[in-house]
Amino acid sequence: SSTMLLERLDGSRTLASVEDDDEAMGVLAGLLNRLHSVPAPPGLRGLGEIAGAMVEEVPSAVDSLADPEDRSRLRGWASAVAELVGEPGDRVLHWDLHYENVLAAEREPWLAIDPEPLVGDPGFDLWPALDTGWERIEATGDARRVVRRRFDLLTEALELDRGRAAGWTLARLLQNTL
Q: Is 96 a catalytic residue?
A: yes
What are the boundaries of each domain within the chain? 9-177
* 144 Cβ contact partners less than 8 Å away, ≥ 6 residues apart: none
pLDDT tens sequence for the chain (178 residues): 567 777 888 889 999 999 999 999 999 999 999 999 988 999 999 999 999 999 999 999 999 999 999 999 999 999 999 999 999 999 999 999 999 999 999 989 999 999 999 999 999 999 999 999 999 999 999 999 999 999 999 999 999 999 999 999 999 999 999 9
173 φ, ψ (degrees, to nearest 5): -65, -40
Q: Which of 21, 70, 90, 96 is catalytic?
A: 96
Q: Is the dihedral of CA 66, 68, 69, 70 positive or negative?
A: positive
What superfamily would CATH give domain 9-177? Aminoglycoside phosphotransferase (APH), C-terminal lobe (3.90.1200.10)
The separation between the first and the last C-alpha atoms of the chain, rounded to the nearest angstrom, is 34
